[in-house]
A and B are shown apart, each in its own frame.
Chain A
């Protein structure tokens, strides 16, 4: 949540702690690209940040329409940033549809930057505006800076001989230039990036640079007269070291590569295109020199089967998908559990059921991950909380898979996959290696027993090709030692128990309380990408004096051994989730605790304010909290009379305005090329 103080006439304080900016335009306007580059320059300026790309499911939605709006929100500041921010301070609207869809989210008193060149009758009609909002006074409670960005862009790139249509494709670079000026960000990295991107087309690079510079220069001029002020956000004090930005998809890919190296195994990745998981396949396809084989299979089933086949042959098999694809893989995952082979399955969750909301985030595959297979088919499940956390979690998934000879599911989601954040580049040497061992001689005197277990309950891994250890495995129940087909009642009982005991015995670190006390009135228990908003909300509430703690769970299955005892130390347990309460059910089931759900399935991350509101309910009638209301957080709700943050958000697009479906941004269109 942005905590920009809003005193002063211009909506923005000169040196706020944090600012939220949302770039919104047509999906052909290149907003994701603009946001991505702004993110990079912001990271280089030393701010902490979090982003939220929000784009239509359509590849190229009809121009100017409400459902074709693509937005990129960034929250950056001079203190730790946990979320992409509840409400923007600044909204850049490249057309009427972008304004309409995003206006409700804007903070009262916030700044709108609009391109009047795109506010034509035709575009206003498409956005269902009866009158031009820039002219009819309806934006009175905001600061508006409206001018013809289109025209200014055409003017700026004129020397490069581009037609109007091509010239307008640099509009996003012009806008980015203005944004860079506003927030005192360096332009050089963008110059370098454009030169590299258009290495073979220097004219196009120059035209885009000219547009960027013109936008930047415009800022200086406009400051003299208009509502625009340059804002400086101080760098956040961070630990010394090398930093970069990373998205969840990148971090998962890098973590898998690191995990395979730590296991001293080549990696085999079987994938099939699906939003939002494809990015992992794309990243890994370019890392073949790391012993990575990527295989784009004919379907989700073949992707996982090929990965299991590769694991059987002695590599680290990995597959990745999103909910619908995981459903297809389920039978094969059961075979992986039955044959006890290592396998990492990455699920980048999205809204469901069925095709659901392909480009929106949700955490609704938890039941699928923990319970969703035929038979008693236990499998470790771990979840990443943020883009950078996904790196470590991927390594952990590889470790468990190899050490325990088991499939492991790694849960991430659409938000984590696409969002970027600064990342202190880890030193791979600091991770403990877990080299895989292959059996190459009999393990029971003269005999070889393929299912004889080690102290962890894991069976030996034997590479086909190893002389003398030929054996057969399969999905049919097997004898507890020889692995030969064995349907006998006692054997099935023992094998079922052995599979269960092995997975439940996976050693995971004790659960820690990441903010607050190890007991008390309320624990807010979260998992996955809700970490950011929960952490910030709990922090805010604790600053108000509320006895609330934040517990974030990485190991969903098996859960840490101290979990039950820890949870029972609190009077109340609140579990916010982007589903209908799945983890809440698992907690109740496992520990018989009265976990209460706070659920949200709008396809949008939690807002800090709504979490604070819910937390506040647990402190009704508590001393210093008379009347049941949590004291207003002045920083967070700077302009209360507008009341948009009252916890209901009737109009906020964040709350699933049907006019805001979204998809892949057509960013190839975003930069002139």
Chain B
């Protein structure tokens, strides 16, 4: 979303007087701060900014943002946001959802808001667990996750949010994690993208799924497992000693060693945010054998839904007068005057 006029604000202007009620140490705090830090930098207007959420821990987010906010019902935030955007395209909409809200009960709406390409930023906080209902396995929980509802370990295959988004037709897919210093950059790129911008944010549920992302998101020592993608830059990680190359035989990505910084010799791919094929490979890259792809994985705008709706209305209304009296008397009519009936 491109804010038309830049407004001067500070982080404080975006804080509400409400007591934040997430568990101490929850990753949501860091995300909240990242957002409150980013919006002033973007020059956003709090009055035109709205936060819309579903149900779950993440969905309490709007209460803590000094903007217009709508805490809706479980899974349906994309539908409310679509209606609000069509009713007032000026609104700068941020949608907040989680792995359960967005991919389980609300998977259908998330798919459709992405394929329609309604202009908004969609932040999916992925903590791979149902937090607010006390720790059941979620659609992104890894196989074998033990939880009150899966005491022996879960056996359904996890959904991959970024792959889901891209498959649904998203034109922007970004990734970050709660405590990452780069998260604001991802948010800014999403905001700059006109259309539905999907951001998966790995978030540490300190109570029910503690530190499951530590392999790449631990405050210290995990940097080597982070592949931060930048448009036009080679896909390097582990202090540029490793890179991602395309195996042209198998049409798949592979990790290669980069010797003496000569990434070209190693065949490392240069990231092109508009390359949808590479984006598909990045979102499917299994963590472990590969690093975690972070940053802007894909960004290739196309016309938005609300623009199409507005253009259609303008086109079909052209030269037409919105005269209700005429509308009511449309079609084949007749007049009664006394007893005579005259078709008109």
Contacts and interface: CB of A to CB of B under 8 A. Distances in A.
Contact of B336 (A243, A261, A485): A243
Given A295-B83, A473-B70, A466 B327 contact: no
B192 interface: no
B132 to A, nearest CB: 12
A477 to B, nearest CB: 12
Interface in A285-323: 287-291, 293, 295, 297-299, 301-303, 305-315, 317
Contact of B333 (A243, A270, A309): A243
A313 B341 CA distance: 47
Given A470-B67, A471-B68, A473-B71, A310 B335 contact: no
Contact of A238 (B71, B316, B336): B336
Contacts of B283: none
B326 to A, nearest CB: 10
Interface in A438-471: 463-471
Contacts of B65: 472
Contacts of B337: 240
Interface stretch (A364-372, A423-431, A583-591, A645-653): A423-431
A331 interface: yes
A470 B49 CA distance: 9
Contacts of B316: 288-289
A476 B55 CA distance: 10
Interface stretch (A43-51, A80-88, A556-564): A43-51
B343 A308 contact: no
A646 B89 CA distance: 62
Given A293-B313, A465-B91, A258 B71 contact: no
Given A268-B83, A293-B86, A306-B82, A468 B47 contact: yes
A475 interface: yes
A189 interface: yes
A621 interface: no
Nearest to A297: B79
B251 interface: no
A40 interface: yes
Contacts of B46: 470
A305 B324 contact: no
A484 interface: yes
B328 interface: yes
Contacts of B47: 464-470
Interface string A410-432: 00000000000000011111000
A257 B322 CA distance: 10
Contact of B341 (A45, A308, A331, A469): A45
B200 to A, nearest CB: 21
Nearest to A270: B83
A335 interface: yes
Contact of B84 (A238, A244, A298, A312): A312
A362 B333 CA distance: 31
A469 B48 CA distance: 11
Given A238-B336, A244-B332, A476 B71 contact: yes
A332 B73 CA distance: 7
B86 A310 contact: yes
A240 B112 contact: no
A288 B79 contact: no
A266 interface: yes
A628 interface: no
A314 B88 contact: yes
Contact of A426 (B328, B330, B334): B328
A128 to B, nearest CB: 41
Contacts of A305: 72-73, 76, 79-80, 83, 109
Contact of A287 (B73, B81, B312, B327): B327
A290 B329 CA distance: 15
Contacts of B62: 472, 474
A235 interface: yes
A259 to B, nearest CB: 11
Interface string B108-119: 110110000000
Interface string A232-257: 00010111111111000000001001
B338 interface: yes
Interface centre among B83, B317, B333, B338 (most CB of A within 10 A): B83
A44 B76 CA distance: 49
Interface in B300-342: 309, 312-313, 316-317, 320-322, 324-325, 327-339, 341
A302 B112 contact: yes
Given A243-B334, A302-B79, A312 B70 contact: yes
A235 B70 contact: no
Nearest to B63: A472
A391 to B, nearest CB: 8
Contact of B76 (A302, A310, A467, A485): A302
B109 A302 contact: yes
A44 B334 contact: yes
Interface string A315-352: 10100000000000001101100010000000000000
Contact of A308 (B16, B78, B83): B83
A189 B331 CA distance: 11
A464 B91 contact: yes
A183 to B, nearest CB: 14
A463 B88 contact: yes
B79 A240 contact: no
Contacts of A239: 336
A238 to B, nearest CB: 5
B68 A295 contact: no
Contacts of A288: 312-313, 316-317
B328 A470 contact: no
A240 B338 contact: yes
A236 to B, nearest CB: 9
Nearest to B18: A484
Contact of A313 (B78, B87, B338): B87
Contacts of A313: 83-85, 87-88, 91
B56 interface: no
Nearest to A192: B332
A470 B66 contact: yes
Contact of A475 (B69, B72, B341): B72
Given A240-B338, A335-B73, A290 B87 contact: no
Contact of A472 (B70, B76, B91, B317): B70
Interface string A187-198: 011000100000
A242 B328 CA distance: 10
Contacts of B52: 309
B90 interface: yes
A474 B322 contact: no
A166 B111 CA distance: 44
Nearest to A306: B83
A156 to B, nearest CB: 25
30 contacts: A43-B334, A44-B341, A242-B335, A258-B328, A268-B87, A289-B317, A291-B322, A295-B86, A298-B79, A302-B79, A302-B108, A305-B76, A306-B80, A309-B80, A310-B83, A310-B87, A312-B80, A332-B73, A332-B76, A335-B72, A428-B324, A464-B68, A466-B47, A468-B47, A470-B67, A472-B16, A473-B69, A474-B70, A476-B71, A485-B63
Given A242-B334, A309-B87, A474-B62, 7 more contacts: A240-B335, A244-B333, A288-B317, A289-B313, A306-B79, A307-B83, A309-B82
9 nearest CB pairs, A to B: A474-B71, A309-B83, A306-B83, A305-B79, A46-B341, A472-B69, A309-B80, A464-B68, A313-B87
